[in-house]
Structure 1
Amino acid sequence: MSESGLLGLDATQLDGSDDRREALSTGRLLRMDAASGATNMGIDEALATCRPEGAILRLYAWETPTLSMGYAQRSGDINLAACRTSAVRLVRRPTGGRAVLHGQDLTYSLILPLRSPWTTISVAESYRLINRSLRRGLEMLGLEVQLAPRLRQADRLRSQFCFPVIAQQDLLIDGKKVIGSAQRRFPASLLQQGSILLEFDPKRILDLLCSDERARVADALKAVGSLQDALGRLPGRQDVERAIRDGFAAEMGIEFIEGGLRPEELTLSRELAAARYRSEGWTFRR
């Protein structure tokens, strides 16, 4: 799997309409219990590599606080000692982007087969479609969602973490970033993984930063929000799952039918979790 297939969330052309929303009529919905980082990443890669017949939307959580690093991210940029002290597990994602701290979020994965009518979907088109779907879902919760404007290069924050960095067209609520995503192209499919913050405690991230980065990032974390902040209450996971499912269904014209992993997907996911995502050779490969 080449690094050229890795795509971060820095696409800039996400506005406009997309005529692919009526393309597929049915898809699979996988609502799964909390699992380890290795299990979660193994499942996502298995779904992306088992040549999916249609769109797959997976919604899941993490059984322990876990820091997921991007595929090409350097582990040396992470404060590993702080992770050990805070009992935060580490896993390297199959997708690109920056580090995300999981545990207070709902995570989604969308897998689209790269076949007709998705054969020629571009990076910008795919981000545009997925962003519109997520926006619809959040609006179904009664939230008003804005798109982040384009920032001048001089105003861009440099951080190893995803959420303190706001890119053009990120989804904002009350001016605060609530979703971070990353994408990868496989030979037969597109995989996008994203974290939706249900609640947010900035101290959890600050505790994992090196001292020089902590000072730079502290102010930027004020622009990170959560659904709890926006709603004034912690939303139920099932309510958020339902809204996200309905947002994707409405925008993409797909009826997502709930089900489970197929035998070949389960087998491959276990193999990947054991051989790759639990391996220190993979986690610390960079």
Structure 2
Amino acid sequence: MRRWRLIRTPPRSGAWNMAVDEALLEAVAAGLSAPVLRLYRWRPAAVSLGYGQRGPRQVNLAACRRHGIDVVRRITGGRAVLHDRELTYAVVAPEQGGPFPGGILENYRVISGPLLALFNHLGIDGRLVPGKTRAGAGPLASSVCFTAPSSYEILCEGRKLTGGAQKRQGGAFLQHGSLPLDLDLELLWELLHPEGGQDRAAGLTALEHSVGWINRWYHPTLDIATLEALFLEMFAAGLDLQLVADELTPVEMQRADALIAERYGRDSWNLAGR
């Protein structure tokens, strides 16, 4: 049984969360850390943009300010995600070895296994997506991550239940993803709908048919503590791991602080891509 670090951090800002993920990726790539499973949340709620996105074209900045919601850009690809009432995970490990065969899609598939087991345990009919795209999400899919499933992500009744994105660096990879407990579709539309685009009613209809969350199907409603416990159980069993509770090292915290100053705390990085 392989030993991994389990790091559970309290709710923090979007800048801090993304900086910590990158600091852990650097540590694993440098051989300074064992593989890591990190569980975390966001305070305040945040919109994270994919690495290739630029803020004003992908997110309604005025609406984010109005609702007190952070905007941060990830080092991973993909599309915009609203992080609010959810459990977020980060897997940081060597590209090959242990449970991972090394290919990007294969590593996605490995991580999707415990997620699928989690949903099935809850009685939610989760199914793996065989390909990268599907029709029917409408124009909103150009910016919103949860309207367009990628390979080995999970749908229920045609609606996307999980979102994940991956970054490879120095022989290691970071995959972070979201498991929404609840989701406010009107808020999601307002935040991720740039001015002058798709009709609101049509957009909400597209979201209704494209987006899923756990408490949409699980009754009575599930709480975050129970979801975390189930996630850890399924992840450890599915990948045959011993998860050892740990904390960020002083070096990792120092590096995260530097990354906030250099990147994630700056509009030039988050909104202009510089």
Give the structure-2-normalised TM-score: 0.87
Write out aligned runs for 1:71-82 (5 A).
71-77=51-57, 78-82=59-63
Q: Please point out which of 205, 209, 214 is paired with 1:227.
A: 214
Decide whether aligned partners of structure 1 residues 214 and 147 sit closer, same or farther in structure 2, where only a CA change above 3 A counts. Answer: farther
1:206 aligns to what SS in structure 2?
helix
Q: Please point out which of 183, 197, 216 is paired with 1:212.
A: 197
Decide whether aligned partners of structure 1 residues 152 and 273 sit closer, same or farther in structure 2, where only a CA change above 3 A counts. Answer: closer
Shift of 1:58: 0.7
- CA shift digits 1:158-204 (9 cap, x unpaired): 32111122345421234322211111101131001111101011011
Shift of 1:63: 0.9
Looking at structure 1, the residues matched to 153 and 230 of structure 2 have their Cα atoms a distance apart, in angstroms, of 19
Indicate yes or no: 2:109 matched with 1:128: yes
One-letter identity of the residue aligned with 1:281: S
Given that 1:95 and 1:183 are in contact with CA atoms closer than 8 Å, whether structure 2 keeps it comes out as yes
Q: Which moved more, 1:231-240 or 1:59-68?
A: 231-240
Looking at structure 2, the residues matched to 272 and 196 of structure 1 have their Cα atoms a distance apart, in angstroms, of 26
Write out aligned runs for 1:99-110 (5 A).
99-110=80-91
One-letter identity of the residue aligned with 1:145: G
Decide whether aligned partners of structure 1 residues 285 and 151 sit closer, same or farther in structure 2, where only a CA change above 3 A counts. Answer: closer
Give the structure-1-normalised TM-score: 0.84
Looking at structure 2, the residues matched to 281 and 252 of structure 1 have their Cα atoms a distance apart, in angstroms, of 39
One-letter identity of the residue aligned with 1:212: G
Given that 1:137 and 1:245 are in contact with CA atoms closer than 8 Å, whether structure 2 keeps it comes out as no
Unaligned runs of 5+ in 2: none
Q: Which moved more, 1:212-221 or 1:144-153?
A: 144-153
Q: Please point out which of 96, 112, 129 is paired with 1:148.
A: 129
Given that 1:70 and 1:96 are in contact with CA atoms closer than 8 Å, whether structure 2 keeps it comes out as yes
Looking at structure 2, the residues matched to 124 and 241 of structure 1 have their Cα atoms a distance apart, in angstroms, of 25
Q: Please point out which of 31, 37, 42 is paired with 1:57.
A: 37
Unaligned runs of 5+ in 1: 1-23
Q: Please point out which of 222, 234, 244 is paired with 2:231.
A: 244
Shift of 1:80: 1.6
Q: Please point out which of 220, 244, 261 is paired with 2:248.
A: 261
Looking at structure 2, the residues matched to 119 and 53 of structure 1 have their Cα atoms a distance apart, in angstroms, of 17
- CA shift digits 1:65-113 (9 cap, x unpaired): 2111111112231222222222221111121110111111111111112
- Give the total of aligned pairs: 263
Decide whether aligned partners of structure 1 residues 214 and 35 sit closer, same or farther in structure 2, where only a CA change above 3 A counts. Answer: farther
2:142 aligns to what SS in structure 1?
coil
1:136 aligns to what SS in structure 2?
helix
Indicate yes or no: 2:78 matched with 1:92: no
Decide whether aligned partners of structure 1 residues 32 and 140 sit closer, same or farther in structure 2, where only a CA change above 3 A counts. Answer: farther
Alignment partner, residue 39 of structure 1: 16
Indicate yes or no: 2:189 matched with 1:192: no
Indicate yes or no: 2:50 matched with 1:70: yes
Shift of 1:117: 4.9
Alignment partner, residue 203 of structure 1: 186
Decide whether aligned partners of structure 1 residues 112 and 121 sit closer, same or farther in structure 2, where only a CA change above 3 A counts. Answer: same
Looking at structure 1, the residues matched to 248 and 187 of structure 2 have their Cα atoms a distance apart, in angstroms, of 33
- CA shift digits 1:17-53 (9 cap, x unpaired): xxxxxxx611111121100111111110000001254
RMSD over equivalenced CA pairs, Å: 2.2
Identity percentage over the alignment? Answer: 33
